[in-house]
Structure 1
Amino acid sequence: MKNLYGILRLIMLLFILSSCEKESTSIFDEDEVKEENPISELPIPTENLIFNADETRNYMVNPNSTAETIALFYNLKLLSQNRFIVGQQDAFSSFYKGNIGESDMKKITGSDPGLLGSDFMFITDDLNDGTQSNWYFQQEIQIRTDVIRAFDLGLVNIFCWHMREPFEGEYFYSSEITQFQKENALKSILPGGENHEYYKQKLAKIGSFAKSLVGSNGLLAPIIFRPFHEFDGDWFWWGASYCTNEEYIQLWRFTVSYLKNTLSVNNMLFAFSPDNNFLSESEYLLRYPGDEFVDILGMDNYGDFNNQGQPGIQRANQKLKIVSNLAKERIKIASLTETGYYTSVSENNPIPYFYTNSLYKAITLNDVNIGFTMFWNNNKDSYCVPVPGLSSADDFIEFISKPEVILADDLPEMYQLPPNT
């Protein structure tokens, strides 16, 4: 049925595009653009993987992962060879101009995104007391509902964590906390630190939540967890200005080990996702905790797409090439874990052909291979994914009609390994 939906959606998109005549201004030379083939001409080359499906667990952080989590790793790695999933943060709960209902991506494409982004922030908040009348607990219930819905639909789920700093438990942006908190927050949650037990309680909350994600089929929904993201900037209290490389690595290793070994969370993949402040493999790996602690190599990148023109797109492509190469060498999954351009009513105008002439080429040129990318959320004032009637709508429709792009209706079965393995 999914294949039928995908074919119908493709026919619809081709009809829309054929009725819209416009000239596209490319920022790359025409001979750099990949030849576009129909989706049916992009078979997934299983023979190029260096491991068989039944060997997958040997290449994962947690070899005791559930069967569905193992299948997710394998299928993401498989897809990343020539296609990528497109997702959005809070797609089922946050909408442009507050127009609730279907996801904004479905409003414009006819399909939900292939990946749903969520956040552990409210779930682990100090004010979440677990009672039905508590606003934070209500958010937890909504997030669980959305994640299970996504799993039931066959989507991929990914979580970040805007953890509040541990002394006061109020803010995660470094601009909103004291100098003392900046200098001591991360150190305090390491083993032996004054807030270490507090941190373990937060991890226990994440662990119990992960174990509660039971789909309608009775199986645990796998999730991707990317803790302490964008650590190479200084806007979060876990940023590079507020801890050493060694301290960050120690925190990452403890976090993964505690979830995996102590709490026995077996439905989780772990994603490493700095921002775009690197130009070489060595810079990317400065705070890398080691292959045994990471399943997915990612990058968040907004800056290179923020009206930077051709130089910015080329930089984004070069950085994705670094991530892609490392993922191939280390048998990980490469990804563009967060991206987008915020367009708002009052401030930012759309960038012409942003999706097809900027983002698409940054992701696909120079043999870059990623498993997924994710736009940040839409809200009442701004959007990363346009809705019908906006000036960038046609460009987005053309982007998602590219043969490499996968939304929900085109997703293969992500939670089963191929038969006879």
Structure 2
Amino acid sequence: MLLATILVVAANLRPAITVVGPLIERIGDDTGMDPAMLGVLGAAPVFTFAAVSPFVHHLGRRVGRDRAIFLALLTLTVGTLLRAVEVIPSALFLGTVLLAGSIGVINVLVPILVKQDFPDRVPMMTAAYTAALTAAAAAASGTAVPLADALGWQAALAGTGLLALLGAGLWSIRLSRRRGSSAPRASERVPAAAGEERSVWTSALAWQVTLFFGLQSSIFYFFLTWMASIHTAQGFSERAGGYGVAAFQAVGIVATLVVGRIMQRRDDHRLVAVGLGLAMATGVAGMIVLPPLMPVWAVVCGLASTATLMLSLTMVSLRAGSAAQATRLSGMAQGVGYLIGGVLPVLAGQLFESTGSWEPPLYAALVVIGIYTGLGYVCGRDVRIPPARPTSAHR
């Protein structure tokens, strides 16, 4: 049951967001939004993650991790349906912010649940839930255009709400098995920080993990928002662009499971970080040099991107020195990280609007990849953030 509930909640972390990319030009045509505004729509979830993440540990401490995730799944369902309501002004943006806030809560808490429920198998379990996340996201991207053709893009956006409702139902079973008192059990509460606990905000390692997480996220959301448009700019159809976004995500399932097994066997992950960075740079450079092979480069980038996401989530769990510190590091990495991650999709939309070409955004992506690969090498070392400040007795 622990595994099933974690996988089903992971499957809800991206479909409501990934369904937008393949439909973004259609949404722009119907709503009159220009590329810059569409870039803001694509980046809105990332900025919402950034706003919500630093405060999630307060919610977890107050109601418990399990109950917080259940409430987030219900709110995700509401936000997804609201986004598809045409009669409400700005419903597209309001629903997007609401669903993204819900996902932001789950984003922070799921790595902590993995560390709590499977303490000896963090890399492999992180790989498993990243694979579930990726599979659901790819399915949403691949079916977006056919559903929009049949039912309209609003219905295609609303469809992911059914998955959120299913997740809430299964999560309620987990809650019922742990019910027994009105207060959260000790195992599911987020512990309060000890008076002498070291703040993650003053740790160089925590900042390295945070910047690595943020920069790799910027590449993921850049492609999530604009991969389909890059395809169509090279002469591919809108449906082919949707399949390209789906392939970009789907191939990552294999990559996460393979890389997760490698990481489970060793504690030093520097070579993994460098290898994934080189693979991503190869795919982006290929889009610039040989754009007719876009489907090939989408697959290469997808293999590297999803595995890098799994690597960054694993680092959040493994680099913390205590459970309370892991919660705070997760909030810091995703709060600051997603703030960084939202910049590139918006910048890419503005660059394309001003130049009429996708080459400048792709060159910008190469710079970002180079920086995060260096950071991945540094924070891939087998080190931990000290869990507590030394007391006078130890000095």
In terms of fraction of residues, the more helix-rich structure is 2
TM-score, normalised to structure 2, is 0.30
TM-score, normalised to structure 1, is 0.28
In terms of fraction of residues, the more strand-rich structure is 1
